[in-house]
Chain A
Amino acid sequence: MENRIKRLFAEKQGGLLSVYFTAGYPNLNDTVPIILELEKNGVDLIEVGMPFSDPLADGPTIQQSSEIAIRNGMTIPMLFEQLQDIRQHTQIPLVLMGYLNPVMQYGVERFCQKCREVGIDGIILPDLPLADYVREYKHIFEEHNLSKVFLITPQTPEQRIREIDTHTNGFVYMVSSASTTGSTNGKAVANTDYFQRVGKMELRNPAMIGFGIHNNDTFSQACQHAKGAIIGSAFIKAVAQEGSLQENIHSFIQSIRTTA
């Protein structure tokens, strides 16, 4: 089976919208409904967050959604159970994102096997060091046809970006500015020098910009510098509002895709 992330980037040239949400939030069983609703509203890629008690790279929104999701009973086995039949309903590329410790406790190999079984296409583990991945885990990910997406930041040296590009497949996750997730200070799309510098490197992987993308304006600007952009915290705030999931998701995605 061809990896759905690779197919997506081969088929679509730009303006890709990827949405991150925390599995098990706002309610334990919202995971599948949110995925299906996002697909219906034309989102291109979905990152399903595996909640962790100590999310170091995340700002307050994802910290809180993670805390609530854990309290709701979300665990990795629970998530796989919820996603058991997902491929009977949608072919949208799915990426699991989370921190290393819960995956380590589940067992990396077992985790990758299970991902293949339910039809996951890629994994993002921000605190798994590149060197450890290459040394210990890369062959397992490849064996299970999983893309391993790595992050780069404005502070990542060129040589390391090349190294990351070599070991990444799927896409390179460009962290927009030096920040944790969910910042709305406008720094997200200000760093055009960095976007252009990376653009000129002509990486073998496509790039997606994330962190701080929260409205049509920041989304459109990010799309000028990469294949697309990733929205997390802003979406999480939107789904937790009063009203039905369907309405909240519909109006949020509309607001991102439509110029204000």
Chain B
Amino acid sequence: MKYSVDENGFYGKFGGAYVPEMLYPNVEELRQNYLKIMQEPDFQEELQGLLKDYVGRPTPLYYAKRLSEKYHTKIYLKREDLNHTGAHKINNTMGQILLAKRLGKKRIIAETGAGQHGVATATVCALMGLECIVYMGEVDIERQAPNVARMKMLGATVVPATSGSRTLKDATNEAIRDWINNPEDTYYIIGSVVGPHPYPDMVARFQAVISEEMMTQLQEKEGRDYPDYVVACVGGGSNAAGAFYHYLDRSEVKLVAVEAAGLGVDSGESAATSVLGKEGIIHGSRTLLMQTEDGQVTEPYSISAGLDYPGVGPLHAHLHQSKRAVFESITDEEALQAVLELTRLEGIIPALESAHALAALGRIGAKPEDVVVVNLSGRGDKDLTTYLNRFHFDGE
């Protein structure tokens, strides 16, 4: 268990809980209870039931024949895009809302970038009849309009974050401030493997269902429970954490984490944290983050709202530093080409985030006999406007 969190909430030197005293009781309450509650049989029974009948799990592991031919290797897609609400995010929100209920919380807050986590949170709040407030950067509200509409339809209040870069980082700041102001009745559902301990570990555990299913499905299809490569995109890193989870200690599996290069890693408009980041503190966690020499957090850029984050979860910082995972970065344009490629080869329109993982397929060096699993974390409905603006299908 080299890559699991230690008792103080650290992965190697990354992690911990760097929160102001105002948040200490909340974070401490969660730390003391999350594993206990998650291990209760009735919690597991309720969660597994909902994941199966409501979320639609297990998601298929699909052998992508034409994509495989193109890249001369054996490619499977883990179809997280087929989950209810269209992405892997609901694996985590379902788990956390059941936990919040058992802690007696009445009011749910969340941050969102692309809006997938916001929608997944608004959905489980509607399901459980709990009040839901979602913080979202003003910039993201504009570029992810369909998801804003969905959240509102589900009964959530969407609050624009107007400070800083007005994207995911600032939405997270606002959610944390809300939690400081409402410490007793409120539960904060963080959407990624970021934030103070125990969030990174808790979210990774809820997302671990992805690699758990992969093991069974690969056993059926390939006669062995592991692939040679797992490829996943990383913003904060929750879908990657889930896809890597059960393979972290199995060195025969190569882990590929794909970050958003934006306009290019050296362009000044990028979100490739593993390349551009330095060790520091962001959102209560010691990790790699993009910052100035003076320790001010830098405003990242990616066309993909879900990857537009200046930090990365502490687990991924550790995987990067220990070289357990290979980190790649993909530009906006490469991601867009990968969207069109998957759409035309397999009839699947992926989310911009997931397209970053697909775009790395040509770089990983997989051989024809290798088995590659790409975690297709979300579907592209929310990005259609971006796609139409880029590709102008009317003119074809």
Contact = CB atoms under 8 A, between A and B. Distances in A.
Interface of A: 52-54, 56-57, 59-60, 63, 67, 70, 75-77, 99-106, 126-129, 132, 150-153, 155-157, 160, 164, 175, 178-180, 183
A102 B183 contact: no
Nearest to A64: B163
Contact of B177 (A56, A127, A129): A56
B21 interface: yes
21 contacts: A54-B173, A56-B20, A56-B180, A56-B283, A57-B177, A67-B163, A76-B294, A76-B295, A103-B295, A104-B281, A105-B278, A105-B294, A127-B18, A127-B284, A128-B18, A129-B18, A129-B19, A153-B22, A155-B184, A160-B24, A178-B183
B280 interface: yes
A158 B338 CA distance: 56
B163 A100 contact: no
Nearest to B296: A53
B183 A129 contact: no
Nearest to A51: B296
Given A52-B295, A54-B173, 6 more contacts: A52-B296, A54-B169, A54-B283, A56-B176, A126-B20, A180-B177
A127 B164 contact: no
Contact of B297 (A54, A129, A180): A54
**Among A63, A103, A128, which residue has the most Cβ atoms of chain B within 10 A?**
A63
B182 A54 contact: no
Contacts of B176: 56
A75 B22 CA distance: 26
Contacts of A164: 21
**Among A53, A75, A100, A164, which residue has the most Cβ atoms of chain B within 10 A?**
A53
Contacts of B284: 56, 127
A156 B21 CA distance: 8
Contacts, number: 105
Contacts of B163: 60, 63, 67
Interface of B: 16-22, 24-25, 163-164, 169, 173, 176-177, 180-184, 278, 280-284, 291, 293-297
A253 B16 CA distance: 41
A150 B21 contact: yes
Nearest to A55: B173
B294 A132 contact: no
A180 B21 contact: no
B296 A152 contact: no
B282 to A, nearest CB: 7
Contacts of B180: 56-57, 178-180
B293 A105 contact: yes
Given A63-B163, A180-B181, A127 B19 contact: yes
Given A54-B164, A76-B294, A179-B180, A105 B20 contact: no
Given A54-B164, A104-B280, A175 B21 contact: yes
Nearest to A98: B295
Contacts of B21: 126, 150-153, 156, 164, 175
**Among B18, B22, B164, which residue has the most Cβ atoms of chain A within 10 A?**
B22
Contacts of B164: 53-54, 67
A105 B16 contact: no
A54 B281 CA distance: 10
A81 to B, nearest CB: 13
Contacts of A53: 164, 296-297
A127 B27 CA distance: 13
**Among B163, B176, B182, B294, which residue has the most Cβ atoms of chain A within 10 A?**
B294
A75 B16 CA distance: 26
A60 B20 CA distance: 17
A56 B295 contact: no
Nearest to A150: B21
Contacts of A105: 278, 280, 291, 293-295
Contacts of B18: 100, 127-129, 132
B177 A156 contact: no
A151 B20 contact: yes
A178 B278 CA distance: 32
A59 B295 contact: no
**Among B17, B169, B181, B295, which residue has the most Cβ atoms of chain A within 10 A?**
B295
A126 to B, nearest CB: 4
A180 B21 CA distance: 11
**Among B19, B180, B283, which residue has the most Cβ atoms of chain A within 10 A?**
B180
A57 B22 contact: yes
Contact of B181 (A70, A129, A179): A179
A34 to B, nearest CB: 21
B295 A104 contact: yes
B379 to A, nearest CB: 31
**Among A106, A127, A128, which residue has the most Cβ atoms of chain B within 10 A?**
A127
B20 A102 contact: no
Contacts of B182: 178
Contacts of B296: 52-53, 70, 102
B16 A56 contact: no
Nearest to A57: B20
A208 B22 CA distance: 16
**Among A75, A129, A156, A179, which residue has the most Cβ atoms of chain B within 10 A?**
A129
A160 B182 CA distance: 20
B282 A156 contact: no
Please give me the 10 A-B residue pairs with the lowest Cβ-Cβ distance, nearest first: A102-B295, A105-B295, A126-B20, A151-B21, A53-B296, A75-B294, A155-B25, A57-B20, A101-B281, A101-B295
Contacts of A127: 18-20, 281, 284
Nearest to B182: A178
Contacts of B177: 56-57, 59, 180
